[in-house]
Structure 1
Amino acid sequence: MIEFNLKTSLFFLMLAGTLVCAQDKKIEKAAAHFDDMAYVDAINSYEDLEQKGYSSEKMYKDLANANYLNSKYTEAVHWYAKLFALEKRDSALEEMYRYAVTLKSIGDYKTSDIWMQKFSKEKTKDLRSEHFRIKPDYLEIIKNNSGRYQIGEISINSSKSDFAPSFYSGQLIFASARDTGLVSRRIDRWNKKAFFSIYIAKKEADKSFTKSALFAKNIKTRAHQSSTVFTKDGKTLYFTMNNFKGSNFARNNEGVSHLHLYRATLINGEWSNVTALPFNSEDYSVAHPALSEDEKTLYFASDMPGTLGKSDIFKVDIYGDGTYGIPTNLGPTINTEARETFPFISPSNVLYFASDGHPGLGGLDMFAVKLYDPHNTEVINLGAPLNSAHDDFSLIIDEESKSGFFASNREGGMGSDDIYSLKELQPLPFKCYSDINGSIIDQQSGKILVNAKIALDSKYEKQILVNDGGRFYLKLDCGLKTLNVNARNEEYEDTMVTIDLTKKDDLDRVVIALEKKKDILDEGTDLFEALKLKPIHFENDKYEIKKDSYSELDQILAFLNKYPELKIQVRSHTDSKGGDEYNQILSQKRAESTVFYFTSRGIDSSRISGVGFGESQLQNDCRNGSNCSEKIHALNRRSEFIIVK
């Protein structure tokens, strides 16, 4: 019995070891699928492991990201939630952002914002965090932009993926993974779907598109071919295709076949001379071409070196001899650390693009920005119904007819991606801005005042973008003619300047000079002016202190108590009514009654004296015989408080 038990125990130990070894191999295989970007295989392998009780941080992370990269956002939400429910895990900041994006796809914007707040706190310098902080009310902004387009279904969609429309000689070109009837179909291991080919749909008399066929069989390959753009004369085509040589993919050392841009020319009715563009590389993708109106600039999406995120929008010059310049990133106004892709340039230089880095409704949203105008740099979300909680992308539009097309994987479509028509009902609300660059300096030395600040009217205060080290940058709505700016520094007098916004050439070098404050204890200083107190005025033909002046005089009293060595002189005045001699006596009585106010409250009489000046120092032109109102005369019936020692 003992021998049997030992043998049995050894058997089960060996069996357990075999099972553990088998599971380890399945885990390694699932991870290898993910690393090879065979995401559907990775999902299937990991889900099989999860059903058998296995769990790990990497499994949840890979499952979530594999679904995210296949636009299966509802499934991604499930796995991201499991990832962030783990008590112990490594940093997963990119997954945190993607979790916030996918939550929008199920309509949970409140929880999405909570995760965006967490992400923004962890990655303060991330452009996506900055966009979220600047526009915490992004949903309201998008809502206000919504309703500008009418969308409709078109009949050329299939049960597969259809996207990337483009205009060509009154016809519609697009990419599709539909069945072409070929005997052999290559399957993309990324999503287990057929490779894309380029199709053409002819416009019918009623302006609908009902029939489609392969666009150009002579440039068809057994790889992905997708987004296209044509020159106006219809003789040059730029398109996206996998890096391909002969009958096989051209892969890099990591086994990846990146997307590249190619050019073809129309010769005798056939597309030929297919040429790879010189800035393609086996180490990164270059895809989704768009042409400027003058056809001298090519725009595209890429993850080439210099990219801010997963993919950015770039541009490159096309020279007259057919060569190209050096690709240039469009910068952080447009690009983020996430995906910016599928550019389209309208004749009025509006760039339309898709992004999941700018605040949106979920997945890829479509945006627009005015190019080549320093006063129009706002990126606008195109709003619903064009954008949805899913992926919306590859927009094209004819500005003359206000009509166009875009693709989306929203619910209710025929396939995984479908092409929809659009009609612009209202123009985009592009804002015009005036940029102001300025500095605050010392009036005498001309040096920058590093501790200076500026203040605007409350309705403009949020538009102070930079106020650092005495320099400032303002971005104001166009249409304003003037702007009042108040510059401040503790050691200087506040200075208000009015900027003429119609003089555009002067707005880049606005200079505000501040005058240094005089020492408040200097001889000759009028304490009422220095302490910014209300003037002390007297009733007509009277010398008694008015009760409403007590609060001002008490501030002078406090100042005298604070500086016990200080001596002041009260200088009192009258208006021009009455005789000169009478006014002299009246002013002296006013001075004496004012002095008494202080001495009766403990100020030594040696520290304060009073002198009457009659009507000899009038504040205005209300001299003898003048026809002035009582209100104007009252300005001359006053007392001043001058430091004499």
Structure 2
Amino acid sequence: MKKIYLSLLLAASLYTVQAQNTAFISTPQERLKHADELFKRYEFVEAVEHYKKLVRGEKTDSYVALQLAESYYHLFNTVESAKWYAKAVELNPNQDAEVFYKYAQMLKASGRYDSSNKIMKKFADLKPEDSRAIDFMQDPDYIPALRSQEALFTFEDSRMNNSQFSDFGGVLTTDNILYFASARDESKKKYGWNDQPFLNVYAATYIADEEKFKDIKPVDELNTKHHDGPTTITADGQTMFFATESFRGGKYEKDKKNRLKKGKVSVYRAKYNGKKWTDIEPLPFNSPDYMVSNPAVTPDGKTLYFASDMPGTVGDMDIWRVDLNEDGTYGTPENMGTIVNTEGRESFPFISEDGKLIFASNAHKGFGGLDLYMFDLTDPNAKVRNIGDPINTAKDDFHLSYYPEKGIGFLSTNRVGRDDIYKVRPVCVTEMVITVKDQKTGAILKDAQVAILDYDKNIIETRFTDDYGIVRYDTDCNKVFALQVEAEGYESKDVELQKWGNGKYPIDVELRPIEMLIKDDIKIILGDIYFEFDKYNITQQGAFELNKLVQILQRNPTMKIKIESHTDNKGSDAYNLKLSQQRATSTMQYVISKGISPARLEARGYGESQPAVDCGEDCTPEQDAINRRSEFIITQK
């Protein structure tokens, strides 16, 4: 975000001013005064040139070094900014805590993570109660973990960027029109912050089959001589919300001393009449006292998210939301709270079709600069997740729109030194949302154990359900998985899962109360206890079933059980009798290993002498499977 929109996030005020004559500058004091005036007007490019002329080697004033550092910080020149922050701290170690924070961010954005950590520790010493400090101290060496995250997206050049000026904030409509903000109109006045033209709203037609854009042109009815864009559009294509300046409505503050007209970034609404955008009006909660920017409407058109530093903001800039009522009025803006927002800067929200809030932050754990994060609005226990590599880098990666049904998104980043738009594609992920309930009552089961298994029935990971009875797993698409679900007082359950593609898939698992496995007070009915061919050791699947028996015995301390093992009629009678006894004994030993007294158990193998299906020598494979069984007989209640 080096080129344009960092200014809108940081400054929260825009201006117009006439060019200055610098012929009057004859002393260092006059040059410093002029440089400070440029800095106050956010004309950092020119301010840098004057501050640099005041550098005197080792005799450089700490104030000049800091002003250079701050100017380069606003221009996102990470190397120069870090260099001058280092000089400012060397000349005056008693800098404000925020100076150390910005210094650390510039080091991190330059890829100097060890040096950044040292400076962040100094920041944490100065502001130990700051959430950024707390978060850092809990896990200062988080970068390797971020790098090891599985990638969520891949990216490629959109082939629509201007080679010189900024393009960012791409959003795609239902009919494949991409709206974005761009500084490519060289006929517009240049912005003193970064010496680029003011922003316009542009539109381009996306040809999905050819994966290219055509008819790139400005949306003239939206654009003014100041900054306009980015935008967001409702799913029906009839309503747009877009960022612009309060100059549009003739609202600004006159600063006669610095010869400035100061405005605020605001959000306006427009309606589409079939040919162009009309009926343009400001949102009622715009204000001359704070900024409202970067709007993002939800797919259902009922809520607008935006960035603002309005009263109630946690840090420099927060994510807010407001209800869009059916009668065209607006609710009361609500802050998204401290899970999403920090003492730093959060902005550029986007809401995907599957209920994900995607936003940029410079204070959550990231690679440097602004990183992109994801927050699941449908999950009451959701946490902020860094989207990870390759979408996030040490530079500013600050806007991502994503359309699951179209399988495409658009990333805005300054990783090559200017703001550009890239196409992104999702790495195919199946999101399983597993809800565990009581089969008898329908009640949700908290703290149920849900293990996910691969095709070969190896346990990959085990998680526990939350207060809503829910566990979530993200897996590769089009692969076979299974679940093993257990809960205290309930029959464990195997769940075979089908292959799924990209998206979210709800899975309801109902567990029977364990007492329902007791049949007529005579038998305990378990699933098949499988053994490998010609072996009698307990398998993972067998252990899963036998744990149900252990639960019943634990809940019924006076109950005694006889374990009976049976085989099919393949092999000799003597061999089958021996094998069945070994399997019955192994079964009993497993139950004993779980804390059940041997005095409550009896094991007996019957070989092939008591078939469940008396099929003689002509048994089918299905009949053999029925005859190979374990039975659990209650001998005492």
- TM-score, length basis structure 2: 0.62
1:427 paired with 2:424, answer no
Identify the residue that residue 357 of structure 1 maps to in structure 2: 363
1:252-272 per-position Cα deviation (integer Å, ceiling 9, x unaligned): 668422110000111241211
Q: Distance in 2 between matches of 1:432 and 1:333?
A: 24
Preserved contact between residue 378 and residue 431 of structure 1 (Cα < 8 Å): no
State the SS of the aligned residue for 1:62: helix
Q: Distance in 2 between matches of 1:416 and 1:155?
A: 14
The code of the aligned residue for 2:424 comes to L
Identify the residue that residue 27 of structure 1 maps to in structure 2: 32
Identify the residue that residue 418 of structure 2 maps to in structure 1: 416
Match of 2:340 among 334, 338, 356: 334
Identify the residue that residue 159 of structure 2 maps to in structure 1: 155
1:134 paired with 2:119, answer no
Following superposition, the deviation at residue 431 of structure 1 comes to: 9.9
Runs of 5+ unmatched residues, structure 2:
1-23, 437-443, 447-460, 473-483, 490-508, 511-596, 603-637
For residues 5-404 of structure 1, what are the structure 2 equivalents within 5 Å? 22-50=27-55, 55-86=60-91, 88-158=92-162, 159-168=164-173, 169-179=175-185, 182=187, 185-204=188-207, 206-245=209-248, 250-251=252-253, 255-375=261-381, 377-404=382-409
Preserved contact between residue 186 and residue 194 of structure 1 (Cα < 8 Å): yes
Preserved contact between residue 310 and residue 338 of structure 1 (Cα < 8 Å): yes
Q: Distance in 2 between matches of 1:278 and 1:108?
A: 44
Preserved contact between residue 89 and residue 95 of structure 2 (Cα < 8 Å): no
Following superposition, the deviation at residue 21 of structure 1 comes to: 7.6
State the SS of the aligned residue for 1:261: strand
Preserved contact between residue 285 and residue 302 of structure 1 (Cα < 8 Å): yes
Q: Distance in 2 between matches of 1:78 and 1:394?
A: 28
Preserved contact between residue 252 and residue 283 of structure 1 (Cα < 8 Å): no
Following superposition, the deviation at residue 628 of structure 1 comes to: 12
The code of the aligned residue for 2:205 comes to K
Aligned length: 438
Q: Distance in 2 between matches of 1:321 and 1:347?
A: 24
Distance 1:483-1:288 versus aligned 2 partners, 3 A rule: farther
Distance 1:290-1:21 versus aligned 2 partners, 3 A rule: same
State the SS of the aligned residue for 1:354: strand
State the SS of the aligned residue for 1:218: coil
Q: Distance in 1 between matches of 2:432 and 2:400?
A: 18
The code of the aligned residue for 1:250 comes to Y
Preserved contact between residue 222 and residue 228 of structure 2 (Cα < 8 Å): no
Distance 1:398-1:73 versus aligned 2 partners, 3 A rule: same
1:595-629 per-position Cα deviation (integer Å, ceiling 9, x unaligned): xxxxxxxxxxxxxxxxxxxxxxxxxx99xxx9999
Preserved contact between residue 235 and residue 300 of structure 2 (Cα < 8 Å): no
Preserved contact between residue 298 and residue 315 of structure 1 (Cα < 8 Å): yes
Following superposition, the deviation at residue 213 of structure 1 comes to: 3.1
Following superposition, the deviation at residue 31 of structure 1 comes to: 1.6
Distance 1:32-1:398 versus aligned 2 partners, 3 A rule: same
Following superposition, the deviation at residue 207 of structure 1 comes to: 3.4
Distance 1:255-1:54 versus aligned 2 partners, 3 A rule: farther
1:304-332 per-position Cα deviation (integer Å, ceiling 9, x unaligned): 11111111100011111111111111111
Q: Distance in 1 between matches of 2:246 and 2:158?
A: 32
Preserved contact between residue 155 and residue 425 of structure 2 (Cα < 8 Å): yes
Distance 1:483-1:189 versus aligned 2 partners, 3 A rule: farther
State the SS of the aligned residue for 2:253: coil
The code of the aligned residue for 2:229 comes to S
Preserved contact between residue 222 and residue 277 of structure 2 (Cα < 8 Å): yes
Preserved contact between residue 271 and residue 277 of structure 2 (Cα < 8 Å): yes
Percent identity between the two aligned chains = 34
1:278-325 per-position Cα deviation (integer Å, ceiling 9, x unaligned): 111112111111112221110001111111111110001111111111
Q: Distance in 1 between matches of 2:203 and 2:72?
A: 31
1:464-507 per-position Cα deviation (integer Å, ceiling 9, x unaligned): xxxxxxxxx999977986699xxxxxxxxxxxxxxxxx99xxxx
> Cα RMSD over matched residues?
3.8
Distance 1:287-1:123 versus aligned 2 partners, 3 A rule: same
Larger radius of gyration: 1
Distance 1:152-1:51 versus aligned 2 partners, 3 A rule: farther
Following superposition, the deviation at residue 45 of structure 1 comes to: 1.4
Following superposition, the deviation at residue 205 of structure 1 comes to: 6.0
The code of the aligned residue for 1:218 comes to E
- TM-score, length basis structure 1: 0.62
The code of the aligned residue for 2:169 comes to A
Q: Distance in 2 between matches of 1:176 and 1:191?
A: 14
State the SS of the aligned residue for 2:393: coil
Distance 1:423-1:121 versus aligned 2 partners, 3 A rule: same
State the SS of the aligned residue for 1:262: strand
Q: Distance in 2 between matches of 1:352 and 1:123?
A: 28
Q: Distance in 1 between matches of 2:60 and 2:236?
A: 58
State the SS of the aligned residue for 1:244: helix
Preserved contact between residue 128 and residue 357 of structure 1 (Cα < 8 Å): yes
Following superposition, the deviation at residue 372 of structure 1 comes to: 4.2
Following superposition, the deviation at residue 157 of structure 1 comes to: 0.4
The code of the aligned residue for 1:386 comes to I
1:55-85 per-position Cα deviation (integer Å, ceiling 9, x unaligned): 2232222221221122211221111111121
1:393-431 per-position Cα deviation (integer Å, ceiling 9, x unaligned): 1100011233211111113xxx61111111111439899
Q: Distance in 2 between matches of 1:365 and 1:120?
A: 21
Distance 1:82-1:353 versus aligned 2 partners, 3 A rule: same
Q: Distance in 1 between matches of 2:104 and 2:215?
A: 39
1:174-195 per-position Cα deviation (integer Å, ceiling 9, x unaligned): 1110135x4xx21212222110
Preserved contact between residue 241 and residue 261 of structure 1 (Cα < 8 Å): yes
Preserved contact between residue 146 and residue 385 of structure 1 (Cα < 8 Å): no
Following superposition, the deviation at residue 212 of structure 1 comes to: 4.5
For residues 446-485 of structure 1, what are the structure 2 equivalents within 5 Å? none
Identify the residue that residue 537 of structure 1 maps to in structure 2: none
Preserved contact between residue 205 and residue 216 of structure 2 (Cα < 8 Å): no
- Of stretches 289-298 and 33-42 in structure 1, the one that deviates more from structure 2 is 33-42
Following superposition, the deviation at residue 134 of structure 1 comes to: 3.0
Q: Distance in 2 between matches of 1:385 and 1:363?
A: 15
- Of stretches 141-150 and 310-319 in structure 1, the one that deviates more from structure 2 is 141-150
Distance 1:26-1:283 versus aligned 2 partners, 3 A rule: same
State the SS of the aligned residue for 1:130: helix
State the SS of the aligned residue for 2:368: coil
Distance 1:63-1:369 versus aligned 2 partners, 3 A rule: same
Identify the residue that residue 584 of structure 2 maps to in structure 1: none
Q: Distance in 1 between matches of 2:413 and 2:397?
A: 4
Runs of 5+ unmatched residues, structure 1:
1-18, 438-458, 464-472, 485-501, 504-620, 630-645
Preserved contact between residue 296 and residue 305 of structure 2 (Cα < 8 Å): yes
1:187-242 per-position Cα deviation (integer Å, ceiling 9, x unaligned): 21222211010111112363323435334212220010111111111111110011
Q: Distance in 1 between matches of 2:135 and 2:340?
A: 11
The code of the aligned residue for 1:128 comes to R
Q: Distance in 2 between matches of 1:225 and 1:40?
A: 22
Following superposition, the deviation at residue 40 of structure 1 comes to: 1.8
For residues 475-624 of structure 1, what are the structure 2 equivalents within 5 Å? none
State the SS of the aligned residue for 2:341: coil
State the SS of the aligned residue for 2:55: helix
